[in-house]
Amino acid sequence: MNEQDIELLESYLDGSLEAGAAEGVRARLDAEAGLRAGLDELRAEREARRGYFLAQEPEPAALERFLARVNEAIREAEMPVERPARRLVPVWLRPAKYAVAAAACIALGLLIRPMVESKPAGKQLANDPNTNRTVDVRPVAMYEVTLRDQAGVVIAVQRFESMEKAQEFAGDLSRWQSRSERLAAGKFVVTADRF
């Protein structure tokens, strides 16, 4: 049997062939033993599939039990949850809990206040000559290197923790600028080839 014969037999078993085509298939089945064997095989396969799918379906009683459990779970989920009864505070203790809360807030404030108001180490006071007010002055241990363009406009400020690092950066920057100026003017010498 070829693919066309198989498709023809499937359509015949489905009952989807027109009357003339179905009559032609019956005539071929009477004449060809191989086609009859193919039809019997297709029927057996269909029966096996149908039996398998029927076995997969649950029994009506098992389905009813499952649906009953689902409905019970839904009803339980919709029921309001009973909350445990709150312990009642005696009437004479109610004002005491407010007093305890106020005392705790005051104690916490007294503990935190020194931390908030503490002055950083090294803080000094100075008079501002413009406003004639006293201002806080803190010494800063930072060294700055200011980078400017040809017009003298500040384009960047680099900060360092030590004078040595600031000087090293300024020296590196100076060497880089002199090299780039020599390259721009065409005054450069190749000192080593690297391949």
**Per-residue pLDDT tens over the stretch 72-106:** 988 888 877 666 666 666 666 667 777 777 787 78
Which of the residues in the chain have pLDDT under 70? 81-94, 114-141, 187-195
The model's pTM: 0.33
Question: How does pLDDT run across 16-38, given as a tens digit for each residue?
Answer: 999 999 999 999 999 999 999 99
The 3-state secondary structure of the chain reads CCHHHHHHHHHHHHCCCCHHHHHHHHHHHHHCHHHHHHHHHHHHHHHHHHHHHHHHCCCHHHHHHHHHHHHHHHHHHHCCCCCCCCCCCCHHHHHHHHHHHHHHHHHHHHHHHHHHHCCCCCCEEEEECCCCEEEEECCCCCEEEEEECCCCCEEEEEEECCHHHHHHHHHHHHHHHHHHHHHHHCCCCCCCCCC
State residue 158's pLDDT score: 81
